[in-house]
Structure 1
Amino acid sequence: MQSCVTIALVPQIKTGPWIFWEDLEASMAQASDLGFDAIELFTESADSIDKGHLEKLLSKYALKLAAVGSGAGKVIHGLTLTDPNPETRTRAIHFIQSMMDFGAHFGAVTIIGSMQGNALPDQREESIMHLKDALEYLGAHAEKLGVPLIYEPLNRYETNLFNTLGTGRAFLEGLSTRHIRLLADLFHMNIEEVDIAQSILENGPWIGHVHLADSNRRPMGMGHTSMKEIAAALKQVEYQGAISAEAFPWPNPLKAAEQTMLSYKQYFN
C-alpha cells in the first residue's frame, strides 16, 4: 500500500475535501518532505498540465501519480454520464476518456465520482442503462490503456445511484468489462455501510483505490472512525493500491498532511 495525498488545481472546488491547493510544485515538495509515496490530482482538464513538466516534478520529488479525478467535468462543464441529453453524455464520456489517457501516461487510475450523476425521478432504469453503456465503453478503453478505471459509490446526499461497495460491485458484475474497480471512500462508507471493515472483506478483490478521511471528513484521527479494523481488513484482502487522503485541509493543509501521515504510519507501516 502506498501513502498518497490529494492536490486540487481547480478553483471552483476549493471548498472541497482536498489536502493541498493551487501551487502544484509547492504541494509536491511538502508531500515529499513528509514522506508520501504518491499524489492524486484534480485538474481542470487533461491538458491543463504539461505531461513533461509533471514528469520532471514527479522525478524531482520522488513521487508517483496514483490517480486523477474527473470531477471538473461536472463542476466546470456540467457533464454527467446519466444526463438525459445524449450529446451531454457523449461529451462526459469523452472528458473522462481524455482524463484516462492523461492518467495512464503515468500509470495512474482515473476516478469517476460526481460525473456519474443521478437517476431522474421515475427514470432510474433508463439512467442506469446510460451509466452501463458509458462504463462499458470506458471499461474497454481502460483495457486498451492497461490501467483500470475506478468507480466510486457516493453517499446518498451526493447520488441516488449506488451508495455502498456491495451495490456498486453488483452493478459492475453485470457489465461485460472487467477493467473497472471500486473506490472505497471511508467518508462515504461511514455514512452508508453497516460495517466498513466487513464490507471491505466482502468486496476486497473489487477495490482499486481507497480514500482516507475520518467520519467528519477531516484527516484520519480527527473524527470517530475506528481505523484499526479497517486497516486490518485492507491487509487481509491484500489490497496493494494507494491510500489517498481525500479530506478537508483542517486546520490547514500542512497540518492536515502531517496528521494523515501520522495515521498512515500508525495503521499501515
Structure 2
Amino acid sequence: MKSAITISLVEEARGGPFVLWDGLEKSIAFAGELGYDAVEIFAPSVDAIDPDALGKMLDKAGLKLCALGTGAGWVKSRLQLADPDAGQRQKARDFVRSIIDLAGPFGASAIIGSMQGPSGHTDDSAPSYLAEALEDGGAHAAQYNVPLIYEPLNRYETRQCCTVADGVELLESLSTDNVRLLCDLFHMNIEEQDIADALRVGGKWVGHIHFVDSNRRPVGLGHMQYGRIIQALRDINYQGYLCAEAFPYPDPHEAARQTMRAYKYWTQS
C-alpha cells in the first residue's frame, strides 16, 4: 500500500477535510520532503492546473498524481450528476469528463463524491441518473487505462450509496467494469457496522482509500482501530493508496507529518 495526501486549490472549501492548502508548488514539494508517494488534488476546474507545470513539479518532488477530485463541480457550480434537469446533468458529466481528461495522462483517476447528489435530493430517478453518469465516466476513463472512482458518502451528505455494500451493488449493476470504490474511513465510521468486514465485502471493487480518523482528523487523533482495517486491506490484496483526506489539524504541516507517522506504523508493523 502506498501513501498519498490531499491538496486543495478551492478557496470555497477552505476549512474542509483537505490537508495541504499552500498552492501546488509548495504543497507538492512538502509532500515529497515527507516521503509521500503521491498527491490527490482538489481543483476548482481543469483551467486551474497547467499539466506541463504539474508534471515538472511532481517529477522534481519524486511524486505521482493518484487522483483528481470533481467536488468543485458541486461546491462552485452546483452541478450534480443526478440533477432532475437534463441540461444540468449534461454539464455535470462534461465537468467530470474534463477532470478525467486532465488526470488520465498522469495515470490518475477522477473521483466522484459530492457531485453524485446532496442529502436534500428527493428525485426517485436519482439512482438511475447516477448509474448513467458512472457508465459514461467509466467508459471515458478507459481510454487512459485508469478506472473512475466512486465514493459512497454518509447519510448526511447523500441519499445515494452510503455503505460499501450499496456501492458494490451499484457497480455490479453497470455494464462497464471500469468503476471502483473509494472507501473513506470517516464515512465508513458513520455507516458501517464493522469497517474491516465492509472492506472485505468491497473486495476487488476497492480502488482507493481515504486514510483518516473517526473525527476526520489525521490518523491517530481519533478513536479508529486500524489493526483490523489494515489486515482487511491485506486480505483483499489492496495495493492502492492510503490517502490523507483529513482536517489540517492542528495545522497542515503537522497533519501531514502525523499521517506519515501513522502510515509508516500501520503499514510496516
Task: Sort the TM-score into its range (normalised by shorter chain).
Answer: over 0.9
Q: Is the 8 A contact 2:79 2:89 kept in 1?
A: yes
Q: Which runs of structure 2 are paired with 1:210-229 in the superposition (5 Å)?
A: 210-229=209-228
- For residues 183-216 of structure 1, the C-alpha deviation after alignment (integer angstroms, 9 at most, x for no partner) is 0100000000000001111212000000011000
Q: State how far apart, in whole Å, the 2-side matches of 1:40 and 1:172 are.
A: 23
SS in 1 for 2:230: helix
Letter paired with 2:97: Q
Match of 1:262 in 2: 261
User: 2-side partners of 1:22 and 1:87: how far apart?
Assistant: 35
What CA distance in whole angstroms lies between the structure 2 residues aligned with 1:132 and 1:210? 21
Provide the rounded CA distance (Å) in 1 between the counterparts of 2:56 and 2:99.
19
CA contact (8 A) 1:149 1:180 kept: yes
1:105-137 superposed Cα distances (whole Å, 9 cap, x missing partner): 10001100000004733x32x111111111111
Contact 1:82–1:128 (8 Å) recurs in 2: yes
AA aligned to 1:159 is T
Secondary structure at the aligned position of 2:47 is classed as coil
Task: Tell me the TM-score normalized by structure 1.
Answer: 0.97
1:199-214 maps to which residues of 2 (within 5 A)? 199-214=198-213
Question: What residue number does 1:141 align with?
Answer: 140
1:168-189 deviation line (CA, Å, top 9, x unaligned): 1101111101000000100000
Q: Which residue number corresponds to residue 44 of structure 1?
A: 44
* 1:238 aligned residue: 237
- The separation in 2 between residues aligned to 1:108 and 1:47, in whole angstroms, is 17
Partner of 2:5: 5
In structure 2, do the counterparts of structure 1 residues 120 and 9 end up closer, same or farther at CA, with 3 Å as the change threshold?
closer
TM-score, structure 2 length as denominator?
0.97
Segments of structure 2 that go 5 or more residues without pairing to the other structure are none
Residue by residue over 1:201-251, the C-alpha shift from the partner in whole angstroms, topping out at 9 and shown as x without a partner, is 121200000001100000000000001110111111111111100000000
Deviation at 1:46, TM superposition (A): 1.4
Report the equivalent of 2:178.
Answer: 179
Partner of 1:116: 116
Q: How many residues align?
A: 267
Report if aligned partners of 2:32, 2:61 keep a CA contact under 8 Å in 1. Answer: yes
Amino acid of the structure 1 residue aligned with 2:192: E
CA contact (8 A) 2:18 2:248 kept: yes
Task: Specify the SS of the correspondent of 2:46.
Answer: coil
Shifted more, 70-79 versus 129-138: the winner is 129-138
Aligned to 2:155: 156
Greater shift in the superposed pair: 215-224 or 14-23? 14-23
Output one character per residue of 1:128-160: Cα deviation in whole Å (capped at 9) or x when no partner.
111111111111112222110000000000001
Conserved? CA contact 2:107–2:144, under 8 Å: no
TM-fit CA distance, 1:28: 1.2
